[in-house]
Amino acid sequence: MPFFEEEQARLQRLVDVLDEIPSDPESIDEEEDDVDEDIEGTYVIGTDNVLQRVDNILQPEEHVPDINGIEENDDNQSQNDDHDVSDDDTPIAVRLYRKGITWSDDYPNIARKNEFREHTGPNIEAEEPIDVFLSLFTEELIDTLVYETNLYNTQNNGGIITNPTNKEEIKKFLGVNILMGIKKLPSYRDYWSSSLELRDSYIASTMSVNRFGWLLSNLHINDNSKMPTRDSPNYDKLYKVRPLLEKLTETYKTCYAPSEFQAIDESMIPFKGRSCLKQYMPDKPTKRGYKVWVRADSYGYVVQFQIYEGKRKDIVEKNLGLRVVKELTIDLVGKNYSVYFDNFFSSVELLIYLQQNKINAAATTRPNRKNFPKDFPTDKEMIRGNFAWRSTRTGITATKWKDRKGIHFLSNMHSPLTETSVRRKEHDGSTKQIACPAVVQDYNKHMGCVDKADMLKTIYCIDRKSRKWWHRIFFHMLDTTVVNTFIIYSQLTEGKKLTLKQLRLAIAISLIGIPQREKVGRKSSTPVHHFKTYVSQEVRYNKSEHLPVRTTSRRCGHCSTVAEVHRTKWACSVCKVALCLSDNRNCFLGFHTK
């Protein structure tokens, strides 16, 4: 069949189907919002006449998107709507509209990336690390900790509070925990151990072990009596730490303007206890714990985070990756930031959404994603360094690059015509330059932002074990705040560089203050065992063969002479020689010393 006749027949079938759509304007209006969201960023094949006919039905008074994408001047599109319509509920016309997505070998000659002009760096002024830390972990947040901790203790003691805490003590408690991230011991009680090898005199002089345990047991940040029940519509799985998460989300954004290049990835908070929030990920280094979606910049600064709460109302969420990226990039709309993420989040719809909202994006993707082109060559048809690409008329590019196996990319800011290279190691240990498109090199350079934040946090993390599920989240956020403090302070004082360990020590010392002496009064030579001297086994059993034993009265083998006779009832257990051992004379030392 000639091409013209085949095209005419296809258009006639399309018109026949469209005629079945109800003509009632109210029926169209009821689904108008859903239609606007579903057709955004999709494509239509065929002539302009077909596009016009679909447009007349779906959007009678609005401008139609470009034939291969969404135009960038559509300012009426909602940026906060995260609702996604399933295929079963989608009108027939919209499904036909989606089926028309095509990819072309012709790359459009358009501007790929708008100029980035936003301010980056700290938004605060501070001279000392503690000032930056308290700008993130604010005094208001510490006051909340004091109030809720005392309230929890009162609720557990029948309305009677015993030894209430205060602001200075909570600061010391936080400082001690930060310091314990550097001085790691198996248990927090070891810092107050009676063994000199384990005991830390600085921490032990800050507060008693019983007081530290009391604070650890009573620490709270939200009122348990007001927590909604599970059957309540306001039920919040993260209620116990919600004030902390909300305050840190606010301060992380206000105190620092992130760099141009950012990444979105998942992070894990290790936890093996019982919790409905715990996730199991067998392919990750941390297999069990709380999953956290994180947006971080190129310095490793955590700009925004979101703890994954699992199913919402026992409903499996569709398009989870799409929703997460939309929520984490809501502050970047219209500012030409560059964002990178992996194949868990990526989709063609998401790349078009970000392009329309002036957010540059690049990501790996899975080849079976919806609307992704299927006509790429197989891995067997490609050799290492080959790549193939497809593009839409608005510049969304899909790329397949062959390394050891095929890797697929989506981008709304890279030209597939730009070729570069990456270094790869061969089996014999040598390195080799492999050709690749620009998106590969750029993705490898900027995708590790969240991994860098995790690395900085893990070096001196607070490894606090607890039966309370939310303690892990609390100390994780405390560590993250210290890392963010390190990044801000490093940029504020370029000529006064501090290592992460030095900055952590400075914050801990500032929070703890000057500790009191361990004991008031005369300093004992045996500060641990006051009733008996403690000696380690290595010292105790070192060269202990020649010991004094009781015997009959004999002349001393060391000091007795013919002119002056000295008799004693002590002898060496090995040498069998009588030696003086009294208040006035000790011949054991002289006899066994060269």
Tokens of 11: 């258009």
> What confidence score (pLDDT) does residue 89 get?
52
Distances from the Cα of 368 to the Cα of 263, 343, 346, angstroms: 23, 11, 12
Up-side HSE of residue 248: CA atoms within 13 Å toward CB? 27
Of 290, 292, 284, 240, the residue nearest 270 (C-alpha) = 290
Contact 431, 423 (CB under 8 A): yes
- Give the integer Cα–Cα distance in Å for 23 and 539: 97
Bridge partners (DSSP) of residue 436 are 420
Nearest CA to 464 out of 145, 201, 217 is that of 217
The pLDDT profile of the chain, 594 residues, written as one tens digit per residue, is: 444 455 555 555 544 544 444 433 333 333 333 333 333 333 333 333 332 333 333 333 333 334 344 333 333 333 333 434 344 454 443 443 444 457 877 787 665 566 888 999 999 998 899 999 999 999 999 999 999 999 999 998 887 777 899 999 999 999 999 999 999 999 999 999 988 889 999 999 999 999 999 999 999 999 999 999 988 888 889 999 999 999 999 999 999 999 999 999 999 999 988 888 899 988 888 889 999 999 999 999 999 999 998 877 677 778 899 999 999 999 999 999 999 999 999 999 999 999 999 999 999 999 999 899 988 999 999 999 999 999 988 889 999 999 989 999 999 999 888 899 999 888 888 899 999 999 999 999 999 999 999 999 999 999 888 889 999 999 999 999 999 999 999 999 886 788 999 999 999 999 998 766 555 444 444 444 444 555 555 555 666 778 889 989 999 988 989 888 999 999 988 888 899 998 888 898 888 887
Please state the three-class secondary structure of 65-98 as a single string.
CECCECCCCCCCCCCCCCCCCCHHHCCHHHHHHH
CA distance 189 to 291: 30
Can you tell me the distance from the alpha carbon of 511 to that of 49, in angstroms, rounded to the nearest whole number? 71
Tokens 């006749």 sit at which residue? 5
- Given the structure tokens 């010292």, which residue do they identify? 539
Cβ(351)–Cβ(412) under 8 Å?
yes
- 428-435 contacts at long range (C-beta below 8 A, 24 or more positions apart): 434/384, 434/385, 434/403, 435/385, 435/386, 435/387
Which amino acid is located at 353 in the chain?
Answer: Y
Rounded distance between C-alpha atoms, residue 41 and residue 321, angstroms: 17
Q: What angle do CA 181, 187, 188 make, to 5 degrees?
A: 65
> What CA–CA distances, in Å, run from 147 to 140, 155, 236, 559?
11, 12, 21, 74
CB 236 within 8 A of CB 309: no
Measured distance CA(589)–CA(213) in Å, rounded: 48
580, 586 contact by CB (below 8 A): yes
pLDDT of residue 358: 93
pLDDT at 329: 95
**pLDDT (tens digit, 9 = 90+) per residue, 62-91?**
333 343 443 333 333 333 334 343 444 544
Residues 396, 412 contacting (CB under 8 angstroms): yes
Q: Would you say 578 and 570 are in contact if contact means Cβ atoms under 8 Å apart?
A: yes
* Spatial separation of the C-alpha atoms in residues 565 and 547, rounded to whole Å: 23
Alpha helices in 275-407 (DSSP H): 320-328, 348-356
Closest CA to 527 of 200, 255, 244: 200
pLDDT score for 17: 44
Q: What is the model's pTM? A: 0.71
Query: For residue 306, which of 276, 326, 286, 287 has the smallest C-alpha distance?
Result: 326
Tally the residues of the chain: 594
Q: What is the CA radius of gyration of the chain?
A: 36
CA–CA distance, 159 with 260 (Å, rounded to integer): 53
Cα angle vertex 188, ends 185, 189, to 5°? Answer: 110
Dihedral pair phi/psi, residue 169, rounded to 5°: -70, -40
Distances (CA, A) of 439 to 365, 372, 390, 416: 13, 17, 13, 8
How many Cα atoms sit within 13 Å of 277 on the Cβ side?
Answer: 22
Summarize pLDDT for 563-582 with one digit per residue, the tens. Answer: 889 999 999 888 888 999 98
DSSP 156-195: HTTT---S---HHHHHHHHHHHHHHTTS--SSGGGGG-SS
Tell me what pLDDT residue 222 has. 94
